[in-house]
Amino acid sequence: MSLTLQQLISRLSFRQMQVFLAVYQQQGYGKGAESLGLTQPAVSSQIKKLESALGQPLFEYVGRKLYCTRAGERVAEHIEAIFEQVASLQSDLHRLEGKLSGELNLCAVSSAQYAVPHLLRGFLQLYPSVNVNLNIVNRTQAIERLNDNKEDLVIMGLVPNDRSLSSLPFLDNELIPVVPVHHPLATKKNIHPQQFLDAQLLSRETGSGNRLALEQHCQQQRLSLNVKMQFGSNDALKHAVLAGLGVAVLPRLSVLSELRLGQLVSPIIKGFPLRRSWCLVSPQGKHATPVTQAFLEYVQTNLKEIHQYFQSLDIV
């Protein structure tokens, strides 16, 4: 029997929807129960009540594997939208009280991880009720997450120009040449760029922002790029240089301590440092939550202060 809207509303509860979403996202009753701190029978009971109210099965087992039905997929879409609206309502009400709350979901490429905490510091002092979720990924994953619209904002350097994106540059990312302290190039003057690139060059993986910036520079300056080893993170690359495996081009932020302690040296080489801007990026036309909008406004209004703050840390 088909229910009227009023009857359906009276039979639904936020708890049922919360439990359903947990099972859907965790892809199992046991994991869903664990994520909510409930017993599995309690979760099963809530799902049965929701299925009864909607008159549709939402999950089914094929063998031992749990699958979401077509009706369940549609229910998941609508429940996620409902919860987003509730979060937006909560944020709007707090704003009326002069407060701001909610979540800010960020994704940053690995080279930006050294800057983002300092960027968030001032914002969270203004809005202490905001919760930040920060994922650190490589460039390829950042682009995938942009395509999937998974985060409020993506923080990256080289912004793809083959799609409609909004970007706000907020800080320079200096890529500098680094060598071990006892390397022959550490004290050498008038180093030719090709001499540096031929000195057992270590690099990030193909497709990373730092690697792309270096490849573009070499192409523009007609230099040969001879990579001997490649690494999946800046920290791994830095430690390879510290171990004496070769030389590298790294974000200045990532090697500040080693430069200050004299463990690494950044020789003067024509054409370096390479300068790229970190940007706050989102799909063009994406609806910004109140928290996201406040963060963008904070960065835009405080660009000068942000830069001065990084200067005070001897970062830029």
DSSP string, 127-172: -TTEEEEEEEE-HHHHHHHHHHT-SSEEEESS--SSS-EEEEEEEE
Q: Are strands 201-204 and 227-231 parallel, antiparallel or unpaired?
A: parallel
For CATH 3.40.190.290, the residue range(s) in the chain are: 172-276
Phi, then psi, of 197 in degrees rounded to 5? -65, -20
Structure confidence by residue, pLDDT tens digits, 155-177:
998 888 877 899 999 888 889 99
The residue with greater pLDDT, 1 or 178, is: 178
Closest CA to 116 of 138, 100, 133, 94: 133
pTM: 0.65
For CATH 1.10.10.10, the residue range(s) in the chain are: 5-97
CB 135, CB 107: distance < 8 Å: yes
pLDDT mean across residues, the chain: 89
Distances 278 to 112, 159, 165 between C-alpha atoms, Å: 7, 9, 14
Q: Which CATH class is domain 5-97?
A: mainly alpha
The residue with greater pLDDT, 237 or 117, is: 237
Give 110's pLDDT tier (boundaries 50, 70, 90). confident
C-alpha 126/C-alpha 148 separation (Å) is: 30
Closest CA to 201 of 239, 243, 241: 241
C-alpha 311/C-alpha 170 separation (Å) is: 14
Q: Which CATH number is 172-276's, of 3.30.750.24, 3.40.50.720, 3.40.50.300, 3.40.190.290?
A: 3.40.190.290
Contacts of 140 (CB under 8 A, 6+ apart): 207, 208
For CATH 3.40.190.10, the residue range(s) in the chain are: 102-170+277-313
Q: Which CATH superfamily is domain 102-170+277-313 in?
A: Periplasmic binding protein-like II (3.40.190.10)
Structure confidence by residue, pLDDT tens digits, 24-62:
999 999 999 998 999 999 999 999 999 998 989 999 988
Structure confidence by residue, pLDDT tens digits, 195-214:
999 999 999 998 888 899 99
pLDDT exceeds 50 at position 316: no
Quick one: average pLDDT of 233-254? 94
The residue with greater pLDDT, 90 or 268, is: 268
- pLDDT score at 314: 59
The two tokens of residue 238 are 């830095």
